A = this chain, B = another copy of it.
Amino acid sequence: MASLSSRSLATLATGWRDATTGPAYGALADRIRLLVIDGRIPLGTRLPAERELAAQLQLSRTTVSAAYGQLRDTGYVDSLRGSGSVVRLPARAPDPGVTTTPEFLDLSKATMPGIPAVLGATERAAVLLPQYFGESGFDALGLDILRQGLADRYTRRGLPTSADEIMVTVGAQSAIAHVARTLLGRGDRVLVESPSYPHAFEALRAAGGRLVPVSVSTEDGWDELAMEQAIQRTSPTLAYLMPDFHNPTGRSMSPELRRRVIALAQRQGTTLVIDETMSGLGLDGQPEAPPFAIFGGPVITIGSVGKSVWGGLRIGWIRADREIIQRIARMRFTYDLGTPVLDQLIVADLLPDYEQILADRRIFLRENRDRLAALLADRLPAWRMPHVEGGLTAWVNLGTPVSSQLALAARSEGVVIAAGPRFGLDGVFERYLRIPFSHPIEDLERSVEALERAWAQISRHPVAVTGADLAQVV
């Protein structure tokens, strides 16, 4: 268990007494609470002993004791025999309305639990909220404060961007759908990776697109020749690509390939729709790639906090030329009238800490990736999990084309998982299974156990299962 020294806590809490006029113990407790909900003190950290902290802060032990007592009473600290005072979030009586299906582990969605920093950001966003009560909320573009914050981050990453090149959307999926509906006509060709994110296929098809797949494999990455030929031969209107830690393979495009794709797109009149939802989630210490659009060319970038901060916030965005943003904005009200104000303020508040959030997520994901690799090697040695460079998922080769059958068997073992063909077109990928390693590690372990049982089951009774797997996959 991680411990926090009294010196570190004193540093984190600098100025704790200035903020308020109430008693010292209340002010101290409040500051510690804020450090917890802002994620500055990780959950599970042991606070310093009362005596030490009192000495460090030159307070009476009674004051520190009262502060810890208040944190205990309000649920922010557990006092465990032998372990001291450990920070946590209040675990109130479970809400009767919360959906709980304890019997099912949902591996169809590659998502991480929300982070405590969302709570601190929510408190601060709530303070700003009344300033926006005079606004209608019906707004195709998004709040200036968030658009500016997102633009600044692109600029910091080497891609000069102004707020009017950003549109805030209800998650990345809306962003993809808005782009597709604005730029595609019926029957227009769209280059897509195969495998790829199935709801992008759906959005592109719903807007009239005819999909042209090119292969990405865990071993060799993009089939560069096929991609070049497909762009040259079909001159697609759009190409939807995920060059950073591609979902589901985890592969990334080389800078050379990026340049080549842009040059080809330019020549053929193809607009590149670049999904950077996974950007910043590299798991081998590699630096975050600069935005794809840095190389110039006809690029529309899709971003989201759904895979980094929390999917429950539903904030995504589009970065594109001013003129394209305006075109999409003119179409948008046909589908939705804007993005919730409060969620936008929360994300704007979190942006200054975004690099740290990503760093924490990488640590969490790296540990989980390594655990999944070890578990599969041990329990399911017939499967081949490639080394995953980044992202939230492994694209596991089962060695034999039984993915749909396995997904079905897994359901009876308490695991919902999408079969490989869900990520391809026309039923391919029966030999593959996408396994997310983004869930809490206990869930990962239980999931592998369930998959092991399902595997044993289908090995005893092999049955051909094919056809549409309509799981909603994220």
A22 / chain B contacts, CB cutoff of 8 Å: 22-23, 26
B171 and A336 form a contact (CB under 8 A):
yes
Residue-wise, chain A 78-103 has the 8 Å CB interface mask toward B (1 for contact) of 00000000000111101111110000
Give the complex CA separation of A170 and B342 in angstroms: 13
A residues 125-171 with Cβ under 8 Å of B? Answer: 126-138, 140, 143-146, 148, 170-171
Task: Please name the residue on chain B nearest to A143 by beta carbon.
Answer: B97
Determine whether A116 belongs to the interface, using a CB cutoff of 8 Å to chain B: yes
* Binary contact readout A360-385 vs B (1 if CB under 8 angstroms, 0 otherwise): 00000000000000000000000000
Q: Taking the nearest CB of chain B, how far is it from the CB of A307, in angstroms?
A: 10
This protein's copies in its complex: 2
Q: Are A199 and B132 in contact (CB under 8 A)?
A: no
Q: What residues of chain B lie closer than 8 Å to A119, measured between beta carbons?
A: 126, 129-130
A100 smallest CB distance to B (angstroms)? 9
Interface residues of A in 315-333 (CB under 8 A from B): 330, 333
Q: With a CB–CB cut-off of 8 A, which chain B residues contact A293?
A: none
Taking a contact as CB atoms under 8 Å apart, the answer to whether A143 and B173 are in contact is: no
CB distance from A213 to the nearest CB of B (A): 18
Contact digits for A448-461, partner B, Cβ 8 Å, 1 yes 0 no:
00000000000000
Say whether, besides A22-B23, A138-B472, A472-B333, A99 and B342 are in contact (CB < 8 Å): no
Is A214 at the interface (CB under 8 A from chain B)? no
For A205, the closest partner residue in chain B by CB is B334
> What is the total number of residues of chain A having a CB less than 8 Å from a CB of chain B?
79
Once bound together, how far apart are the Cα atoms of A375 and B131, in whole Å? 29
Q: By the criterion CB–CB under 8 Å, are B132 and A312 in contact?
A: yes
Query: Within 8 Å CB of A291, what residues of B?
Result: none
Q: Give Cα distance in the complex from A107 to B46, angstroms.
A: 56
Q: Is A199's CB under 8 angstroms from B126's CB?
A: no
With A94-B131, A135-B99 as contacts: A140 and B472 at CB distance below 8 Å: yes
Q: Known A-B contacts: A95-B145, A138-B472. Give 5 more (CB < 8 A).
A: A97-B144, A114-B133, A199-B334, A313-B340, A333-B472
